[in-house]
A and B are shown apart, each in its own frame.
Chain A
């Protein structure tokens, strides 16, 4: 993805080395990044650039620094985590609904809201559509795990 972003992974690392955290944390790149691990794998200095991207996303989210253009991706990842927190496993239909509602304020378009609805019948005839997702039995345990991870940091 390096060619398609405002700051390439090496430029992000350089900005951090120079103490320019703001520049790195507000970049589009950290939310455009698809976590393909290519930068970490190829870095001649063995810098874990993809791991740095994760850390930047986490801090950017905590400080509310994501720009409107990046908020759709943030909304998707947040909807995903909320979904697992409730069910233990992903419920695809619920995820799509929650993502669309979360992202709607920044997208502001009905086209966005209904864009993927046409996929439903195509998935249905292929027996790929599950109107009700699976849930684990001990969902209280899943909630406790999430609660204990709330601050994101470990010792």
Chain B
């Protein structure tokens, strides 16, 4: 599978454990995503909150680069990035004038032929039937709460992925790995996203509810496919426990950690030893 890779800033910053996990896991499945040269930040919330045109132009530039570099499929493992890329593509598909305008802003043409994939879609593309026989260590002891957060499934008309209220694609993968995903309520509730710095109390409050619900439903870990969700639930878990006087002790895995462990990759190779909650 020839696959372009848009890491986004987080995976090259403090969420570099996600990139380590992703490369180890996909490598084992003989998928080697190729990083887009000269990619730029998608603008994230800052762009869509402060400057609408920039929130289209920045992702569009990356779509154009992927096209120029000869790719048809593009993995964006951060749901913020993938949603922004998909939104820019959608807006330009619906408006030829906008496409021309953005092309002149970013000094490149975007035909719209690149398909943007989130991490779960890459596993679906590989095929769960192919994944199943590759499992060496079934994760029989794991009862994960599969956590989708906001942007993997929302807004549904942009991302067109799974069910925005009752998603099940991550549970399907976890089940193939031999884990027993729990049924719980907060799968698509927000963790506070990029407010970690700007409004920490929001993050602590929203993430506490997620951890508490996971615990109440018998989970012994959480699984996420988003760098920001991971920061808020893993790095901030100690602060949440302190603030609310509760003890969770719930490890938070990236989806690639779970698949990687089942494929027989060590926790160190996946970077799990670099998480906060052990």
Contact surface of A with B, Cβ cutoff 8 Å? 1, 4, 32, 34-38, 40-41, 48, 50, 53-55, 57-58, 61, 72-73, 75-78, 80-81, 84, 88-90, 92, 96, 99, 116, 119, 122-123, 126-130, 133-134, 136-138, 141-142, 144-146, 148-149, 151-155
Contacts and interface: CB of A to CB of B under 8 A. Distances in A.
Main secondary structure on B side of the interface with A = helix
A84 B50 contact: no
Contacts of A41: 154-156, 164
Interface in B46-87: 46-58, 61
A136 B40 contact: yes
B49 A99 contact: no
12 contacts: A61-B50, A73-B198, A77-B50, A78-B46, A80-B45, A81-B50, A89-B39, A99-B198, A126-B274, A142-B40, A154-B52, A154-B101
Given A145-B105, A152-B52, A128 B14 contact: yes
Interface string B25-57: 000000000000011110111111111111111
Interface size class for chain B?
35 or more
Given A35-B48, A128-B274, A149-B54, A90 B190 contact: no
A57 B49 contact: yes
A137 B37 CA distance: 10
Main secondary structure on A side of the interface with B = helix
Contact of B12 (A72, A80, A89, A138): A89
Contacts of A78: 46, 50
B151 interface: yes
A90 B199 contact: no
A128 B16 contact: yes
Interface of B: 9-10, 12-17, 38-41, 43-58, 61, 97-98, 101-102, 104-107, 150-151, 154-156, 164, 188-190, 192-195, 197-199, 202, 205-206, 235, 274-276
Contact of A92 (B14, B49, B106, B194): B14
A60 to B, nearest CB: 10
B198 A76 contact: yes
Contacts of B39: 89, 136
A37 B154 contact: yes
Contact of B202 (A32, A80, A128): A32
Given A84-B43, A145-B106, A34 B155 contact: no
